[in-house]
Structure 1
Amino acid sequence: MMPFLQVNQLHVRYDFSSNRDTLNAVNFELLEGESILLLGPSGCGKSTLTYCLNGLYPRELDGEMQGDVIINGKRTTDYRPGELAQHVGVVFQDPETQFCMLTVEDEVAFGLENIRIPKMKIAKKIDDALELVGLMPFKKATISSLSGGQKQKLALACILALEPKLLILDEPTANLDPMAAMELIETIRSIKVQTGCSLIIIEHQLDGWTELAERCVLLNNDGTIFYDGPLRGAINHKRPLLQKEGIWLPRVANYVLPYHNKTLPIPLTLSAFACQAEQYKPAYWDNNIMPKQTYKQALLVANQIAYSKRKKKIIQNVSINIYHGDFVAIIGSNGSGKTTLSRLLAGIEQPSEGSILLKNKQLASWQEKELRDNIGYVFQNPEHQFITDSVFEEVAYSLRLKELSDEVIKTKTMEMLDNCGLTNLKNHHPFHLSQGQKRRLSVATMLIDNQAMLILDEPTFGQDALSNRELMHLLSERHKTGTTIVMITHDMDLVYEHATRVIVMNQGEIAVNCEPEHLWAKSEKLLQQWQLTLPTPIQLKRCCERRGKNVSTPT
């Protein structure tokens, strides 16, 4: 069969990175109707490759591109502007960057009008696309009123309306709560069945995708493909290299591998694990329970706070104590109020009702500099906090404000860059980094100081496995030295491994404030109502228990 996509000896080099290629001699093919996982560490060139496949590069490239990208037998450079969009559709990491209209219907229509689809056909194409993603009830809704998952589906509908043969998904679930992520994956599965399109899935978290993709293409840090084949084959034969490059394994496989019976295939999904659960003991997954802590002194106290915007109540009736030494995970569905609550606790926004005290002093009465010396805040969008022209200066900025010596500033900054895997990027502009690298930089700018409390909004999204592990190690070390950590996350495994307390937000209110193990004991119906899933170890343990295995300590 003639390949639908051919990439031949592709090299890409940016002007700001003239000493190395971002993509280096990349070669692969994709058949019509085939699906692949495109995997690699943060900054390895996955998004750059996407821009080459959809024709954005070399047209908009500040740099050089060599080699050929051939779509349906024709070089991308030979397509007329807009023509390639009918063959290759891309849903980017942040769907809001793709929107330019106010309502759902108009947004889908926009792309169709740009390729001059006759008016009499546009209405049906809009309805067909919205039906595919389950957004017909929101056809007349404003985009701003949609949840994160719905916005992701709208971005998908806009692409599907153009009927591309190849659909590229660039970390489509990175900003979604667990249930919304599962729902989106199921939507993609249904679309593939109905349209027969080809898929390229760029993801760090593989759960849910492994049943959709027949093979994986793996990139290393040098932007070179080092494996092209079945994912299970990569795990069997390239595992040390996967770990070195920071490429995530499916979570089930990652937890099971230390105890895996090599005569059986490695389970990539929970259903596959269930078929061989009798081989394992439930106690294998009891070793990450955080010790209970006795809290003595409240660092921050919020009492009956509320917050409204444009006459809409976003936070209401929230009372909470954050204690010295807490590691609090704030979880909940997209749009439940997690980010707004964190901004109120950090003093970035002011509550419309109620009070917040930091060290027994009203938060609003703190001088800004003193407040930032006590509370560090990492934004959900890292670009919102960058203020200098280089990675080094971004991390060094707060140290310079303290008028430390140049020698001390250099030593501390280079140590932090090394800890966050950013040393080789020290002279780059922050806006030239990949999304994962930007996230690490935003965390580094806060970790360089010694605030009493760190509030982090999704610090690990978009991170490869190695960066994720190192980042959480840094936070854990700060926690051990007495820093209070408050972290918003959708990653239930991180909650399981690190949190001493968990707060579930639901429709602007606190639904649960408890130790993590008490949350896992809640009914499945309640967890689904809050758009939550159980952590992987808890799911594995219960699967073993259902198979009748007795709980015992592994030898």
Structure 2
Amino acid sequence: MIRFEDVSVTYDGAAEPTVRGVDFEVPEGELVLLVGPSGVGKSTVLNAVSGLVPHFTGGTLRGRVTVAGRDTRTHKPRELADVVGTVGQDPLSHFVTDTVEDELAYGMESLGLAPDVMRRRVEETLDLLGLTDLRNRPIATLSGGQQQRAAIGSVLTPHPKALILDEPTSALDPAAAEEVLAVLQRLVHDLGTTVLMAEHRLERVIQYADQVALLPTPGAPLQLGAPADMMAVSPVYPPVVALGHLAGWSPLPLTVRDARRRAGKVREQLSLTEPAGSRAAGAAPDPKRGGTPQARASDTTPTPAPTHRWRPLFRKHTPPTLTPSPTPAPPAEVHALSVRRARIEALRHIDLTVTPGETIALMGRNGAGKSTLLNTLVGLIEPSTGTVQVSGRTPHRTPPPDLIRHVGLVPQEPRDLLYADTVATECTAADQDAQATPGTCRTLLSTLLPGIPDDTHPRDLSEGQRLTLALAVVLTARPPLLLLDEPTRGLDYAAKARLVTHLRTLAAEGHAIVLATHDVELAAELAHRVVLLADGEVIADGPTADVVVSSPSFAPQVTKILAPQQWLTVAQVREALG
């Protein structure tokens, strides 16, 4: 169905090909998973199937790519639309209509399908992807995960012979991701649809793959093989495989079920100890390291640790007497917050206190209100009722030049923060805005994700690279309160580990971090506390281990494998086993 014959792609101005010597075949009716570190060219390979490379992106394509016998060099994307359906990393760039139902019908209208066929397929797809209640909703009002489901639905309705999916579950909650992957499996098994998919969250998708195509490093030859064989040599692999490596299991397990059957000896060894009181176990920050004891939503104003950022502000106004210095306001306090948007009550009666040194994971299904809460904390949304305070300031009434010193947000769409023509210019502007030492942003970017050239335009970066650049821009200001909305979209496991290390350092220095995420593995690694939202309300708030271990949807893989013991990460298990 899809055939690559010695394909290399070199973009205009690039000294070396982005991908080189790609030669493999995706048979009809198979799901092939494309894996590799961020920036190795996975999106380029996918776009070559739909004809976007080189007809839209430019550059030089050497070799040959054919889909259902059609050569992509001589067939433009519109001439492949009846056989190839493509969903990129950015669903917003995919939409051409205003509402969900119109978007699902648009592709079929373009192909001239009969109205009764269109109506039936729209209804089927709405049911398959859980979009029935959203059919008349404007796309602009949907959450990121809901938009991603709508984008996937819009390419399913024309019933293409091949589906090309780039990070299809990156913005989906665990339950929605399982539903989408179950739909893809049905299409592959029952209808013979061919699927080529790139995904960094391998813990979600590896068990569905018939074969794995591995791009280990930029420019390296692509390797194709059985999932277990490829995971044995891949530089990126999910926690279940990491636990298999640690335990010496062969062949490596790919599913929680396989690992549980073989984990008896490991559970026996771990039964004599308890998970260490660490960040991964959901412990509160240590006051001696710059944090404060964990505060629950019902706590009164906490006593934060002194930080160098706040001390000068209060020393100026303290008379030279024995009068104690005023206690700085906590990074964030939310009381009885409600937000109504477009006749929808996005948040209801939220109470939340964030203390210095604390890392909080906001979790919940798509549309639960996570992004709305972050946008309210940074002043982009005005509360309907209740109060929001950030370092003693009301965000939506505080001038941005002042607010940026107290809170920073990395949104789901990193392009919202990037406006310069090159990475170097973007970093220089970030240093100037934050009044940081020149080179601070560039150094931070290289630490988080090495190898991004200075002269690259941000739009030419992969989604993961763009996200990392946006992270570096915001982190340059080192705000006391850092807000991250789906910070691991497009990041491989190595890049995510570097991000976790940097965020832990910031928390140890007293910075408060609130991240909205569907990445249960990230929450297990990083968060002291999990706040679970549903329909705009807080339904759980507590230490990470207490919240996620009891949740089938939000428990990480290690927890499911080693239950009923409360282990969250492979790192914890490795430390316990010595």
TM over 0.5: yes
In the other structure, the counterpart of 1:269 is: 255
In the other structure, the counterpart of 1:351 is: 383
1:352: Cα distance to partner?
2.1
Q: What is the DSSP-based 3-state SS (H/G/I as helix, E as strand, rest coil) of the residue aligned with 1:356? A: strand
Query: How has the CA–CA distance of structure 1 residues 7 and 213 changed in structure 2, closer, same or farther, with 3 Å as cutoff?
Result: same
Q: What is the CA deviation profile of residues 26-78 of structure 1, one whole-angstrom value per residue up to 9, with x for unaligned ones?
A: 11112212221111122221111222101222222322222111222331234
Q: What is the DSSP-based 3-state SS (H/G/I as helix, E as strand, rest coil) of the residue aligned with 1:425? A: coil
Q: What is the DSSP-based 3-state SS (H/G/I as helix, E as strand, rest coil) of the residue aligned with 2:502? A: helix
Q: What is the DSSP-based 3-state SS (H/G/I as helix, E as strand, rest coil) of the residue aligned with 1:32? A: coil
The reply to whether residue 335 of structure 1 matches residue 367 of structure 2 is yes
In the other structure, the counterpart of 2:225 is: 229
Query: How has the CA–CA distance of structure 1 residues 303 and 160 changed in structure 2, closer, same or farther, with 3 Å as cutoff?
Result: closer
Amino acid at match of 1:123: R
Whole-angstrom CA distance in 2 between matches of 1:482 and 1:151: 35
Q: What is the DSSP-based 3-state SS (H/G/I as helix, E as strand, rest coil) of the residue aligned with 1:77? A: coil
Query: How has the CA–CA distance of structure 1 residues 152 and 224 changed in structure 2, closer, same or farther, with 3 Å as cutoff?
Result: same
In the other structure, the counterpart of 2:438 is: 409
The reply to whether residue 67 of structure 1 matches residue 63 of structure 2 is yes
Query: How has the CA–CA distance of structure 1 residues 86 and 381 changed in structure 2, closer, same or farther, with 3 Å as cutoff?
Result: same
1:226: Cα distance to partner?
3.9
Whole-angstrom CA distance in 1 between matches of 2:78 and 2:391: 58
Among candidates 273, 276, 279, match of residue 265 of structure 2? 279
Amino acid at match of 1:14: Y
The reply to whether residue 515 of structure 1 matches residue 543 of structure 2 is yes
Amino acid at match of 2:405: D
Q: What is the DSSP-based 3-state SS (H/G/I as helix, E as strand, rest coil) of the residue aligned with 1:93? A: coil
Do 2:284 and 2:358's aligned partners in 1 also have CA atoms closer than 8 Å? Answer: no
The reply to whether residue 319 of structure 1 matches residue 340 of structure 2 is no
**Residues 126-525 of structure 1: matches in 2 within 5 Å?**
126-130=122-126, 133=129, 135=131, 143=139, 150-236=146-232, 238=233, 242-243=234-235, 247=236, 249-261=237-249, 264-281=250-267, 283=270, 286-287=275-276, 288-293=280-285, 294-295=293-294, 296-297=303-304, 298-364=330-396, 366-401=398-433, 408-410=437-439, 412-520=440-548, 522=550
Query: How has the CA–CA distance of structure 1 residues 314 and 544 changed in structure 2, closer, same or farther, with 3 Å as cutoff?
Result: closer
1:134: Cα distance to partner?
5.7
Please say which of residues 496-505 and 412-421 is displaced more in the overlay: 412-421
Whole-angstrom CA distance in 1 between matches of 2:512 and 2:502: 13
1:155: Cα distance to partner?
2.9
Q: What is the CA deviation profile of residues 263-301 of structure 1, one whole-angstrom value per residue up to 9, with x for unaligned ones?
A: x42111011112222232263893542433424333321
Amino acid at match of 1:269: T
Please say which of residues 193-202 and 415-424 is displaced more in the overlay: 415-424
The reply to whether residue 45 of structure 1 matches residue 34 of structure 2 is no
Q: What is the DSSP-based 3-state SS (H/G/I as helix, E as strand, rest coil) of the residue aligned with 1:83? A: helix
Query: How has the CA–CA distance of structure 1 residues 274 and 345 changed in structure 2, closer, same or farther, with 3 Å as cutoff?
Result: same
Among candidates 7, 23, 30, match of residue 4 of structure 2? 7
Amino acid at match of 1:21: P
Among candidates 540, 563, 566, match of residue 542 of structure 1? 563
What percent identity do the matched residue pairs reach?
28
1:160: Cα distance to partner?
2.8
1:138: Cα distance to partner?
5.9
TM-score, normalised by the number of residues in structure 1:
0.87
Amino acid at match of 2:381: E
Q: What is the DSSP-based 3-state SS (H/G/I as helix, E as strand, rest coil) of the residue aligned with 1:38? A: strand
| Number of equivalenced pairs | 525
Q: What is the CA deviation profile of residues 487-532 of structure 1, one whole-angstrom value per residue up to 9, with x for unaligned ones?
A: 111111222221112211111122222111221354xxxx46xxx4
1:367: Cα distance to partner?
3.7
**Residues 26-41 of structure 1: matches in 2 within 5 Å?**
26-41=22-37
Whole-angstrom CA distance in 2 between matches of 1:537 and 1:129: 34
Query: How has the CA–CA distance of structure 1 residues 232 and 479 changed in structure 2, closer, same or farther, with 3 Å as cutoff?
Result: same
Do 1:422 and 1:437's aligned partners in 2 also have CA atoms closer than 8 Å? Answer: no
1:426: Cα distance to partner?
1.6
In the other structure, the counterpart of 2:288 is: none
Q: What is the CA deviation profile of residues 220-273 of structure 1, one whole-angstrom value per residue up to 9, with x for unaligned ones?
A: 33243342111211233x2xxx33xxx2x1321123321234xx4211101111
Whole-angstrom CA distance in 2 between matches of 1:445 and 1:123: 46
Q: What is the CA deviation profile of residues 139-160 of structure 1, one whole-angstrom value per residue up to 9, with x for unaligned ones?
A: 5665456665554444333323
Do 1:277 and 1:543's aligned partners in 2 also have CA atoms closer than 8 Å? Answer: no
Do 1:250 and 1:269's aligned partners in 2 also have CA atoms closer than 8 Å? Answer: no
Query: How has the CA–CA distance of structure 1 residues 386 and 149 changed in structure 2, closer, same or farther, with 3 Å as cutoff?
Result: closer
Whole-angstrom CA distance in 1 between matches of 2:254 and 2:242: 9
Do 1:391 and 1:429's aligned partners in 2 also have CA atoms closer than 8 Å? Answer: yes
Q: What is the DSSP-based 3-state SS (H/G/I as helix, E as strand, rest coil) of the residue aligned with 1:224? A: coil
| Structure 1 portions without partners, runs of 5+ | 546-550
Do 1:149 and 1:181's aligned partners in 2 also have CA atoms closer than 8 Å? Answer: no
Whole-angstrom CA distance in 2 between matches of 1:132 and 1:366: 44
Amino acid at match of 1:540: I
Query: How has the CA–CA distance of structure 1 residues 316 and 418 changed in structure 2, closer, same or farther, with 3 Å as cutoff?
Result: same
Whole-angstrom CA distance in 1 between matches of 2:382 and 2:138: 27
Whole-angstrom CA distance in 1 between matches of 2:46 and 2:431: 38
Whole-angstrom CA distance in 2 between matches of 1:146 and 1:458: 15
Whole-angstrom CA distance in 2 between matches of 1:317 and 1:357: 15
Whole-angstrom CA distance in 1 between matches of 2:388 and 2:125: 46
TM-score, normalised by the number of residues in structure 2:
0.84
1:314: Cα distance to partner?
1.2
1:348: Cα distance to partner?
2.7
